[in-house]
Structure 1
Amino acid sequence: MTVDELVAYCLAKPGAEETYPWGDAELVAKVGGKAFAFIGLVEGSVGLKCGAGEDDTREWRDRYPEDISVSHYIGRYGWNKVRLAGKVPDEEITELVDTSYHAIVAKLPKSKRPV
């Protein structure tokens, strides 16, 4: 999956918006004002919420140890970093995006959830 394909997939989600809080190198896809994907535009990676905590996300890291790692700073909250040019199949990357998106939407107040 290319970075452009990933960005298009994330921004096609209901209520998704793109932000650049740290400059042009990283796009943060948000829903209801909360991040569901941290997309490294230059390095070709994406940070996604993959579970409730670090232990929940270990399955993905064990399956793809060269391409999925614990996200810096927020890994203990269930976030993994996925390298796009690695061995993780596109359909599994989209599954992870969907999981992250739905986890964030589920925690939003009803008034901020997309229709």
Structure 2
Amino acid sequence: MVQPGDEISTLTTKRPNVIAAIGPDGIWVETLRSDRRRSGPQLVPAWMIVAGWRQLQQKGVLTHAELLGDLNVKRSAFVVALLAQFTDVVVRSSHPIVLQLIGGPQP
């Protein structure tokens, strides 16, 4: 999977997200914006990643709009980029972003 030091680019704009740390509360991510502001890595709470993964498992597809609007995930660009790294997930579209679970929905 991912580990500190790994870089994951967003799917649409290809902006880098560098994983600074991984913990029980979530993943700490350094972005160009946080680097420019010198604010340090920002936490992407674990619940945001879990919410996206559960939705993808239940429906078999996940859109960026769903993640941002329906699930209220504010670090949605990173979350979809992270989920796209999973071996059983493919990017069906990058404009708009649509992820698909290989094999369809999981019970």
Using the size of structure 1 for normalisation, the TM-score is: 0.27
More strand by proportion, 1 or 2? 2
Using the size of structure 2 for normalisation, the TM-score is: 0.28
